[in-house]
């Protein structure tokens, strides 16, 4: 009886480990597609990520270093 419970526990543990591995691969892939798009070829199912204007950084203000007066 104990042996059956141990084997069932091992099977469940392996199943959930594989499930988490698949989930982790999906998260890493979506992160890479959004932040490193030049590494991926565009396919028909690829999403286009557009940054809304409210989230864009004003480059003119951020590139200047303010000197202390």
Residue ranges per structural domain of the chain: 1-34
Rounded average pLDDT per 10-residue block, the chain, 69 residues: 94 97 93 81 60 58 57
| Claim: this prediction has a pTM higher than 0.85 | no
Q: Give the ranges where the chain is alpha helix by DSSP (H).
A: 2-35, 59-62
């Amino acid at each position: 009886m104990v042996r059956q419970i141990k084997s069932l526990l091992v099977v469940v543990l392996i199943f959930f480990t594989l499930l988490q591995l698949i989930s982790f691969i999906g998260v890493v892939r979506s992160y890479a597609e959004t932040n490193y798009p030049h590494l991926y070829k565009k396919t028909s199912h690829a999403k286009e990520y557009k940054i809304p204007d409210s989230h864009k950084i004003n480059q003119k203000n951020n590139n200047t270093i303010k000197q202390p007066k």
